[in-house]
């Protein structure tokens, strides 16, 4: 049994922040789906855990007109089972649906997923392609940061030691945007992905607009493929536009060999996923010209 | 909360009070402190589903749950799904026996709880829904076909 860990269960967010202001050492824990493994493996050996799981202030899904605000303790199951939310944010819903198995989705949280900072996590590409922002709170105040800035490296984030992730805000995407999310791993169910791609685009006057492409598993953090996006923005998606976008990927991702896959396989999959997204865009463009 | 603070939880309908370090894994509390060894530990990292239990009705992996987060909660393990004194198995358990969905049996307690949770949520799940619900429960013997058939069969029981 784990006698080397202390446990502090605050009743309010203020109490949590006060604890961290006085001593930044305690490790915040929510669903525990990552931290409990780190404890089992000995990566985390001792110290105090700050149990956020009872903080109602960090729960809740707020569907405002222009954006959706999700409490950091929102679980994957909360996302998948919330009809209006899943309908509004199809990329996030698709990512949540393939995050872990059912039991993991019941306890793992969006805030925890971002705080953990895994380069292969499933939700960051979907949130990046959705222009999501992260709210950080401390006794010093609250601040909102873009997810791209929040992620600073593998298992590293902008969160200061006295801060907690309290909410995630996701702007409402255009209702008719083409949305594509796919994660590739060794099997379809419950798997840690090798490569994942989340993307969306609107169709305006027979051209692509508002193109967003984000990938996971191919760089130190989830990344936006901004050059590939600009190759597609405003284009009718002729053959060369697609090739330009695929070539642009070369400069934007840097897959490596590791225990789960090889760099060369990740390259092939990343390109194939982008091609699949382009295929979805082509069908949508054809439909829009036919109507 | 310190190591000395007892944690109160209900396990299979019985109120329990355990004086145990709060970061301890629920699976260890169930197996070692309470002697409920029906819950199995396979991988210890949330990949195999063998340690699945219900916490307030929610399917959870007991190797990933710190017992402190179970204070005040009601836990159902494989021992509590169809208590021995009832002398009658749960529909999922009977169906697994009939369909040949049990071989070595190590994954079975987790499979039973996941399938039970699915049938609580959806009375007539499709095969795809059954496969999705059980995707977190690894079985190295059966090839899953008989397990999925059993869950579908259990769903048709009154």
The ipTM of this complex is 0.95
Task: Give the distance from residue B137's alpha carbon to the nearest chain A alpha carbon, in angstroms.
Answer: 8
The per-residue pLDDT for A289 is 84
Whether the CB of B42 is below 8 Å from some CB of chain A: the reply is no
Interface of A with B in 171-210 (CB under 8 A): 188-190
Residue B65 has pLDDT above 60, yes or no: yes
A186 interaction partners in chain B (CB closer than 8 Å): none
B132 interaction partners in chain A (CB closer than 8 Å): 102, 189
| A183-202: average pLDDT | 92
Whether the CB of B136 is below 8 Å from some CB of chain A: the reply is yes
Interface touch B136/A106, C-beta < 8 Å: no
Give the long-range contacts of residues A66-70, CB within 8 A, separation 24 or more.
Answer: A66/A171, A66/A172, A67/A169, A67/A170, A67/A171, A67/A172, A68/A169, A68/A170, A68/A172, A69/A167, A69/A168, A69/A169, A69/A170, A70/A110, A70/A167, A70/A168, A70/A169, A70/A170
Whether the CB of B92 is below 8 Å from some CB of chain A: the reply is no
Beta carbon pairs, A and B, within 8 Å = 100
Could you tell me the CA-to-CA distances from B54 to A106, A154, A221, B17 in Å, in that order?
A: 11, 33, 34, 18
| A148-159: average pLDDT | 97
Whether the CB of B23 is below 8 Å from some CB of chain A: the reply is yes
pLDDT in tens, B103-151: 999 999 999 999 999 999 999 999 999 999 999 999 999 999 999 999 9
pLDDT band at B1 (very low <50, low <70, confident <90, very high): very low
Whether the CB of A103 is below 8 Å from some CB of chain B: the reply is yes
pLDDT band at B14 (very low <50, low <70, confident <90, very high): very high
Give the pTM.
0.96
Residue A27 has pLDDT above 60, yes or no: yes
Whether the CB of B89 is below 8 Å from some CB of chain A: the reply is no
Share of chain B above pLDDT 90, in %: 91
């Amino acid at each position: 049994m784990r006698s080397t860990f202390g446990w502090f269960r605050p009743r309010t967010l203020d109490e949590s922040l006060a604890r961290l202001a006085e001593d930044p050492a305690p490790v915040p824990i929510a669903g525990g789906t990552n931290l409990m493994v780190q404890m089992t493996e000995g990566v985390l050996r001792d110290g105090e855990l700050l149990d956020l799981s009872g903080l109602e202030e960090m729960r809740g899904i707020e569907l405002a007109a222009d954006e959706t605000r999700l409490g950091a303790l929102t679980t994957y199951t909360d996302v998948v089972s919330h009809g209006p939310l899943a309908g509004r944010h199809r990329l996030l819903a698709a990512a949540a649906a393939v995050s872990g198995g059912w039991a993991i989705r019941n306890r793992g949280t969006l805030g925890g997923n971002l705080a953990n900072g895994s380069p292969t996590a499933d939700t960051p590409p979907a949130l990046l392609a959705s222009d999501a922002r992260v709210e950080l709170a401390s006794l010093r105040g609250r601040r909102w940061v873009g997810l791209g800035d929040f992620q600073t490296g593998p298992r590293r984030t902008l969160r200061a030691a006295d801060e907690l992730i309290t909410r995630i805000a996701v702007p409402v995407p255009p209702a008719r945007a083409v949305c594509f999310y796919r994660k590739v791993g060794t099997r379809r169910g419950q798997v840690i992905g090798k490569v994942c791609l989340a993307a969306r685009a609107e169709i305006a006057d027979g051209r692509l607009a508002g193109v967003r492409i984000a990938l996971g598993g191919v760089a130190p953090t989830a990344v936006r493929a901004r050059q590939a996006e600009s190759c597609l923005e405003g284009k009718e998606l002729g053959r060369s536009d697609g090739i330009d976008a695929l070539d642009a990927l070369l400069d934007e991702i840097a897959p490596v060999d590791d225990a789960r896959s090889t760099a060369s396989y990740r390259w092939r999959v990343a390109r194939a996923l982008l091609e699949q997204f382009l295929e979805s865009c082509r069908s949508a463009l054809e439909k829009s010209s036919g109507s | 909360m310190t190591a000395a603070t007892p944690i109160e939880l209900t396990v299979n309908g019985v109120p329990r009070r355990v004086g145990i370090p709060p970061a301890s894994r629920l699976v260890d509390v169930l197996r070692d402190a309470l002697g409920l060894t029906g819950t199995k530990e396979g991988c210890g990292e949330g990949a195999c589903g063998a340690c699945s239990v219900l916490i307030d009705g929610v399917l959870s992996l007991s190797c990933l749950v710190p017992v402190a987060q179970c204070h005040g909660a009601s836990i159902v393990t494989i021992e509590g799904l169809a208590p021995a004194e009832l002398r009658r198995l749960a529909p999922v358990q009977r169906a697994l026996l009939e369909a040949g969905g049990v071989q070595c049996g190590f994954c079975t307690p987790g499979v039973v709880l996941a399938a039970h949770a699915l049938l609580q949520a959806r009375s007539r799940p499709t095969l795809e829904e059954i496969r999705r619900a059980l995707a977190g429960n690894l079985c190295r013997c059966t090839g899953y076909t008989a397990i999925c058939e059993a869950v579908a069969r259990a769903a048709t029981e009154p």
